[in-house]
Structure 1
Amino acid sequence: MSTSFDYRSVAQDVLSIEMRGLQQLAQYFNDDFHNACDMVLNNQGKVVVMGMGKSGHIGKKIAATLASTGTSAFFVHPGEASHGDLGMIESGDIVLAISNSGESSEILALYPVLKRRHIRIISMTGKPESNMAKLADVHLQITVPEEACPLDLAPTSSTTATLVMGDAFAVALMKARGFTAEDFALSHPGGALGRKLLLKLSDIMHSGDALPTVNQDALIRDALLEVSQKGLGMTAVVDKDMTLLGIFTDGDLRRLLDQRIDVHTTPISQVMTKNPTVATPNLLAVEGLNIMQEKSINGLMLCQDGKLVGALNMHDLLKAGVM
């Protein structure tokens, strides 16, 4: 049922309030932020993130971002920690404790045990005078002018600021480590990025009996049969040692038909494309895609030590999830 309530105006107000909160966040990228990053970067243990309620939800995301960008991290629920999960935290780990108020009783109850075990604590709160802030080794401030919630009850601006501080923390560490896209892919092998950055042309190329080839003495009709049977829309022209001499594609066929060349009597060597674009099988699939796009070609021959070893086309890359 449609009403006359101005939802969009409220949404704009929320956006404005949260943006003001984020603008204030810049002042907190200070010496404490630097020291927190240094502490984690120079530490051999893990980062154990803790938070209750909404801070816990944000904490899980921060832990996941840290873990996927080169900083070993995981989330532990403070309530569960006091009932056995504290055993997951080892000497040398660093605890990142999150609470906007800085007075989370569940987290503060763990401080004495963590201190006794010489586990350092980074707190992330909106109250620098809070117990969590004062008792931590380093405090990251996330104070915002106001919550977007008109009742000032539901954490809104504060959780957004916490999330951004966590992202800044993770990305700063990522860059300091020299963490690369290839490193990222290694921890995301099942995702699209992993496929793009880990998959090689050798993993998807056609080889052996599936590789379309004809010798240099073959007729055009023989090449057409090979193109049809192997289904790549092309065939390589090779000598007896599998040295690539040229390539013939279905596009070449269309051009030949306009020239009225007799496919039953003309050798393929007279109409093939010499010196075609090639790649090596150990090239990343995404790099092979870039070559094909730059050259405006739909197929690619793969050579190793001067010999033809494989072939693939755009459909193979699409099927593999590279594009």
Structure 2
Amino acid sequence: MMKDFKASALRVLKIESEAVLQLQQYVNDDFAAACQLLQDCKGKVVVCGMGKSGHVGHKIAATLSSTGTPAFFMHPAEANHGDLGMMSDQDVLLAISNSGETTELLNLIPVVKRLEIPIIAMTNNSGSTLAKHADVMICIKVEQEACSLGLAPTASTTATLAMGDALAVALLDASGFSSADFALSHPGGSLGRRLLLSVADIMQQGKDIPLVSKHQTISQALFEITRKGLGMTGIQDDDGILVGIFTDGDLRRVLDKRIDIHTTTVGEVMTTGSVTTHPQKLAVEVLNLMEEYKISSMIAVNDKNQPVGALNMHMLLKAGVV
């Protein structure tokens, strides 16, 4: 007999999406109180849970840490055999248990209470032992599991994960945590590259900068463009100040006017008022400028408008900024 896989999958998604939507009723004063406890925490948020709650707890701890709330996961069984020493009286315990009666979690309560560590419980049972001993309880109750047997944690774990995200983002918004702060904790990822790389990290420097004097001929400028491979060259005056730029596009316009490239100086045909950048500018900002002005390369200048570097779209792509 052929099974209807799609119908089963759609039923699961419907149940789980409804479970997440039902959580809105639990974003209440207790939720706000939990956020305040976490925001006031001087140490770390210690996330604890067994089984599937533990798997979700790992993710919640990781999300909290990456969004500005230092956190780590502590396995309750291991905590009962020594790992509880990882906690300090500056921490907050975020205990996750769907039933609120997980033995390994409950065994920790006397010691946690003795250390006067605040407890935030995430459970579906307000009358549970965990909820009664917690300082704040966040309800994660769902109407039904998506498992057709009603046994495997499915909708309940999805709801727990979503509530964890709600906590993390609420704290992020309250603290003013920025995209740059996020990048600092993700330096190896593409987001880190996009947000932390400066122009100075990417640009060609020194002898690799395409530059000619305004007194040199167009043909000499073309040789510089070809030699440096950025599709353009900067034009300097006698004091080393950038006064213009000459690009492949400028060359096409020169050829249309039948100008002698061997006798005409590049200063006579250069583009003035060109868009430049500063070496300390973020590479992603330069990308935005290139897209805005529809250009593919740019000269970086210092505070005296002297060329100190050059880069193009290909270099941004290679660096992972695009």
Structure 1 unaligned spans of 5+ = none
What are the equivalent positions in structure 2 for 1:76-225 lying under 5 Å apart? 76-225=74-223
Distance 2:252 2:104 in 1: 74
Q: Which residue of 2 aligns with 1:71?
A: 69
Q: Whole-Å Cα distance in 1 between the matches of residues 51 and 238 of structure 2?
A: 71
Aligned to 1:49, the other structure's residue is in SS state strand
Q: Please give the root-mean-square deviation of Cα atoms over the aligned residues, in Å.
A: 1.1
Q: Trace 1:280-291 onto structure 2 (pairs within 5 A).
A: 280-291=278-289
Shift of 1:41: 0.8
Displacement, 1:118? 1.1
Matched residue, 2:290: 292
Q: Give the counterpart letter for 2:29 in structure 1.
A: D
Q: 2:270 maps to what in 1?
A: 272
Q: Whole-Å Cα distance in 2 between the matches of residues 212 and 23 of structure 1?
A: 58
Question: Per the alignment, in what secondary structure is the counterpart of residue 236 of structure 1?
Answer: strand
Between the two proteins, the alignment pairs up a number of residues equal to 321
Give me the whole-angstrom Cα distance separating, in 2, the residues matched to 1:312 and 1:21: 50
SS state of the match for residue 224, structure 1?
A: helix
Question: 4+ runs of 1 displaced by more than 3 Å?
Answer: none
TM-score normalized with structure 2 length: 0.97
- 1:127-180 deviation line (CA, Å, top 9, x unaligned): 111111111111111000000001111000000110011000011111110111
CA apart distance, 1:4: 3.1
C-alpha deviation, 1:239, in angstroms: 1.4
Could you tell me which residue of structure 2 aligns to residue 322 of structure 1?
Answer: 321
Query: Which aligned pairs between 1:232-251 and structure 2 lie closer than 5 A?
Result: 232-251=230-249
* Mapped partners of 1:21, 1:274: distance in 2: 61
Question: Which residue of the partner structure matches residue 308 of structure 2?
Answer: 309
Match 2:12 to one of 7, 11, 14: 14
Q: For residue 310 of structure 1, what is the amino acid of its counterpart? A: G
Deviation at 1:256, TM superposition (A): 2.6
Distance 1:54 1:141 in 2: 17
Moved more, 18-27 or 225-234: 18-27
Deviations 1:90-116 (A, max 9, x none): 111001010111111111111111111
Code of the residue aligned with 1:138 in structure 2: it is V
Structure 1 match to 2:37: 39
Deviation of 1:272 after TM superposition, in Å, equals: 1.1
How far apart, CA to CA, are the structure 2 residues paired with 1:193 and 1:240? 42
Q: Does 1:57 align with 2:55?
A: yes
Query: Aligned AA for 2:307?
Result: L
Query: Normalising to structure 1: TM-score of the pair?
Result: 0.97
CA distance in 2, matches of 1:90, 1:240: 66
Residue identity in the other structure for 1:216: K
1:229 shift after superposition: 1.0
SS in 2 for 1:145: coil
Q: Give the Cα–Cα distance (whole angstroms) in 2 for the partners of residues 267 and 23 of structure 1.
A: 69
Structure 2 unmatched runs, 5+? none
SS at match of 1:274: coil
Q: CA deviation at 1:23?
A: 2.1
Q: CA shift at 1:12, angstroms?
A: 1.2
